[in-house]
Structure 1
Amino acid sequence: MRAYKAAVSLSARLGGNEKARQWLEGRENVWEGLAAAFPGDRPVIWVHAASLGEFEQGRPVMEALRRQYPGYRLLLTFFSPSGYNVRKNYDGADHVCYLPLDTAANAQRFLGLVNPAMAIFIKYEFWYHYLAALHARAVPVLLISGIFRHGQVFFRWYGGLFRQLLRQMDHLFVQNEISLHMLRDIGIGPEQASLAGDTRFDRVWALRMQPQALPVIEKFLDSREVLVAGSTWPDDEKMLAAWWNDGGRQRRQLILAPHETEEGHIRAIEAAFPGAIRYSALAAGQAGPGDVLIIDNVGMLSALYRYSHVSYVGGGFGKAGIHNLLEPATYGKPVVIGPVFHQFHEAVELVQIRGALVVQDEATFRERMDALEDAYYYEQTAEIAGRYVEEHQGATGRIMLYIQEKRFLTRE
């Protein structure tokens, strides 16, 4: 951990890495903020998310806890700047901050200040010292929307120490059967691990049921069909630009929300799409109607997808794979993705049932978009996508029922 911090410091100070700088600066006043936020007058529920995606995954559970246990304060911690910067003012928590580095001293100091009645970790982030300290204090610890894969340290011959960490957690709610079987193979039985599903389905379904209006977007739109391309990377944008500038723009508008919104990246997108306007300029009244709108902020994509006729989810041409395709699917719209998606089980399932369409390059992207011009094919694909999300709700209710049955939070 100390070596990691040193590497981040070098990246920030010598390499000019903005995220590294934010990672360091964001932790400078963590202790003072925690001491002021939790004076000890009310019990605390601690929820930890790695980044923005995990926050959205845990949000339905946090909101359910707020409704059902109003006597508890809620602490939300992040590891990554990309999560903290967007949700540092989240009003569903009493305090939002970075998680101090995982050392034995930090874990003891953190728990001494917060004194949580229960801790929830979302999907992954198994910090050794924090989990060991929570176990020593007999604090109930849950993993929600967990997912496990071969190659993780828990399933290696040398992973005994980390397997013990899992066994010390009160319950692991996993997303799929594969994860459950892997846990069974290392001796974690049904009393400690169960299939609850993915809380993201509850979150994205709520987006559909309670849609958020975006007046600036509505100002931009006209009667043409809209392609919303979300969480795009340069490879995605290169493919989209080739298609768009070679006839794809006919009868369409394009809204492009890149994963990274640094100035250099936005300028590169503007060069690839001549005449494109920025969201910030449109919102400020400095730009009029157009064909291409670039979203130069972070945090509105989940609400943006509902305005699409077809959605494209980026990341599928990189090693990490696609970003969240459930957000566009929940609105009952066809979803197009790149070829790297097999590590995401919801993507695999949606592709198998033909609710998501895979492309390998500009030519196959053109084929998919042309195919969706057929009204029957379009409606079938859209219906499958929306129905898939609707049928996979319920993880939040299963988790809340367990918390109630175990009486982890008895002070309301």
Structure 2
Amino acid sequence: MGILYQIGIHFFILSLRIASIFNLKIRAGLEGRKNWSSILENIPKNVQVIWFHCASLGEFDQGLPVMHMIKNNTPNAFILVTFFSPSGMEHYHKRTHPVDKALYLPFDTKINALTFIQKAKPKLAVFVKYEFWPNFILECRSSNVKLVSISTLLRKNQIYFKGYGRFFARILKKIDYFFVQNEETKSLLESIGIKDITLSGDTRYDRVLQHKEATTESDSILSKFSAQGPILIAGSSWESEEKIIKQFMESNPETKVIIAPHNIKRANIERIGTLLDQATMCYTDYNEAHVEQVLILDTIGHLSAAYQYADYALIGGGFSGSLHNIIEAAAFGLPVFFGPHHEKFPEAQGFIDGDIGFVVENAKQLSDKIKALGNQDELKQKIEAFVRDQAGATNKIVNHSFITNTLKQK
């Protein structure tokens, strides 16, 4: 299987090169990987390089609290971040972050892994959530670079736990320590003989609370729009959620809606306006003299702070199985609603079990469940308390003896 993987990774690279002819996002990823080796040349000497690998922007957000704490605790820490996806590389700088250098992860060939580790010389490697590249993992082990996985989330139907996936299971065993999100992941790793595991939780809870505390400035546009409510916000919406919003507004004309679409390209904004079949206005074109019932956030970076201006949140991706971050909305005390396909997101089931998250499949269900919520102030306090109770993963990770001992070693 190892030989097949080495052959397969080269075919994978070839397929991306072909696909890049037709796909701008893939082309951006390939272009961004050019000259990656030279980017590593000017890492200062006498620093401790802590390398974080994040598949995309969501995993970067998950790793951010750990990056911040390690940077604060380790004066000579140099935070090196790699991304696989262009969405991470192109947007990470819009976050408040401690990153010293960021680049695309080179493709997972043996020579790339060897060159990367030799040039970067990481003291500690941190893979966030679930992306595991065999050659990089094997090179970390060969070069005596300690490697941990944080906020790890795995499912029983993945290849690591199948009879034909023994090669990939052996790769996981090369990782020195796992800090996992839930008991299921811990049990799955134990089932293939991995013992160095801590059930630390999801660092996103720390991330959203930090962001909430840092959100001190008022947004004049959102504040004016939400002055008269109630307000429903659709976070990272797709067409399925937007169709629900259209029907919901027909039976709830008193509710104003903020839509933050997953795709903010002009053509998609126009599609949403046509779908809703009523006057809308965009954040970038806001006119206080002509306030409409729908405000579309046609910007990047406003969503997480915009939740504080709403009363309820309909989160996108629950109809496709790619549920967006529901924790961001809950940090501001909002009950969250989402589609039925949330199996890959255990936090959704936790919200459902805690009666602070609700599955909806149509506008009537959304309307009925909002009306059944009861006392809004009590619910807000309950949701905020739930989020606080889930926090603390960052401390468990950074202050763990494996991490502290690794960073103390000369």
Q: 1:111 to 1:171 in 2, by over 3 A?
A: same
Aligned residues of 2:182 and 2:199 also touching (Cα < 8 A): yes
Matched ranges for 1:1-80 at <5 A? 1-13=9-21, 15=22, 17-36=23-42, 38-80=43-85
Report what 2:189 is aligned to: 183
Q: Distance in 1 between matches of 2:352 and 2:225?
A: 31
How far is the alpha carbon of 1:228 from its aligned partner? 1.2
**Change beyond 3 A, Cα 1:65–1:23:** same
CA distance in 2, matches of 1:144, 1:112: 23
Residue type at the aligned position of 2:365: T
> d(CA) in 1 for partners of 2:235 and 2:155?
26
**Deviation, structure 1 residue 286:** 10
- Equivalents in 1 of 2:117, 2:349: separation in Å? 40
Instruction: Say whether residues 1:350 and 2:351 are aligned partners.
Output: yes
Residue by residue, what CA displacement relative to the aligned partner does 1:99-138 show, whole Å, maximum 9, x if unpaired? 1111111111111211101000000110011000011011
Paired residues in the alignment total: 399
| 1:55 alignment partner AA | F
1:125 equivalent in alignment to 2:131 = yes
Note the alpha carbon deviations across 1:267-287, whole angstroms, 9 max, x for none: 1112123321122223xx798
Give the counterpart letter for 1:398 in structure 2: K
What secondary structure does 2:130 align onto?
coil
Report the more deviating stretch, 265-274 or 324-333: 265-274
Tell me if structure 2 keeps the 8 A contact 1:143–1:171.
yes
Which residue does the alignment assign to 2:214? 210
Residues in 2 aligned to 1:80 and 1:368: alpha-carbon distance in whole angstroms: 37
Equivalent residue in structure 2 for 1:81, among 82, 86, 105: 86
Show the counterpart of 1:230: 235
Could you report, residue by residue, the CA deviation over 1:155-187 in whole angstroms, capped at 9, with x for unpaired residues? 111222222222221100111111111111111
Unaligned runs of 5+ in 1: none
Give the deviation of 1:405 after TM superposition. Answer: 6.3
Residue type at the aligned position of 1:401: N
Deviation, structure 1 residue 339: 1.3
Following TM superposition, by how much is the alpha carbon of 1:10 offset from its aligned partner in structure 2, in angstroms?
A: 2.7
* Residue identity in the other structure for 1:399: I
| TM-superposed deviation, 1:5 | 2.6
Contact 1:333/1:383 (CA < 8 Å) preserved in 2? Answer: no
Q: How far off its partner does 1:385 sit?
A: 2.1
Q: CA deviation at 1:206?
A: 1.6
Q: Deviations over 1:20-47 (max 9, x none)?
A: 22212222242222223x1434221101
Of 375, 382, 385, 2:383 maps to 385
**Aligned AA (1:232):** S
Partner secondary structure for residue 187 of structure 1: coil
Residues 86 and 299, structure 1, Cα contact 8 Å, conserved in 2: no
Deviates more, 1:211-220 or 1:80-89: 211-220
Seen in structure 2, the aligned counterparts of structure 1 residues 10 and 216 have a Cα distance that, compared at 3 Å, is farther
Equivalent AA in structure 2 for residue 259 of structure 1: H
Cα distance in 2 for residues equivalent to 1:403 and 1:122: 19
1:221 CA drift (Å) = 3.2
Aligned to 1:270: 273
Write the deviation string for residues 294-350 of structure 1: whole angstroms up to 9, x where unpaired. 1122233222211111111111111x2421111111111211111112332221121
Report if the CA contact (8 A) 1:49-1:121 is conserved: yes
Between the aligned partners of 1:69 and 1:94, the Cα distance in structure 2 is: 14
Answer yes or no: is the 8 Å Cα contact 1:88–1:96 preserved in 2: no
Identity of aligned residues (%): 33
Match of 2:246 among 241, 246, 250: 241
Residue 201 of structure 2, aligned match among 197, 205, 221: 197
TM-score by length of 1: 0.91
Select 1:161's aligned residue among 148, 167, 170.
Answer: 167
Q: 2:309 aligns with which of 289, 307, 326?
A: 307
Distance in structure 2 (CA, Å) of the matches to 1:238 and 1:101: 39
RMSD in angstroms over aligned alpha carbons?
2.1
Aligned match of 1:137 in 139, 143, 153? 143
Partners of 2:332 and 2:94 in 1: CA distance: 27
Deviates more, 1:342-351 or 1:107-116: 342-351
